[in-house]
């Protein structure tokens, strides 16, 4: 809201896999403007591996 602009880094986004049943950004967005990026379609397994990588786990 206001002057703030939020951007989602697709290289760091796990679509909340491992934490929630669905991406929380889409739930709280007041204008429903967070579509899935077709250039970064990932499977649940890929998202879980990304989560482990971001946490520094093997």
pTM score: 0.73
Q: Which of 8, 10, 12 is nearest to 41 (CA)?
A: 10
Q: Using one digit for the tens of pLDDT, what is the confidence trace for 18-55?
A: 899 989 988 888 887 888 778 878 999 999 999 999 99
Averaged pLDDT, 6-20: 89
Q: Give domain limits for the chain.
A: 1-58
CB 35 within 8 A of CB 29: no
CATH of range 1-58; options 3.40.50.2300, 3.30.70.20, 3.30.1950.10, 2.130.10.10: 3.30.70.20
pLDDT at 2: 55
Note whether 51 and 14 are within 8 A (CB): yes
């Amino acid at each position: 809201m206001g002057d703030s602009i939020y951007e989602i880094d697709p290289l760091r986004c796990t679509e909340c896999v491992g934490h929630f049943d669905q991406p929380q950004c889409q739930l709280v967005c007041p204008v429903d403007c967070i579509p899935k990026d077709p250039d970064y379609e990932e499977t649940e397994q890929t998202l879980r591996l990304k989560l482990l990588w971001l946490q520094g786990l093997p």
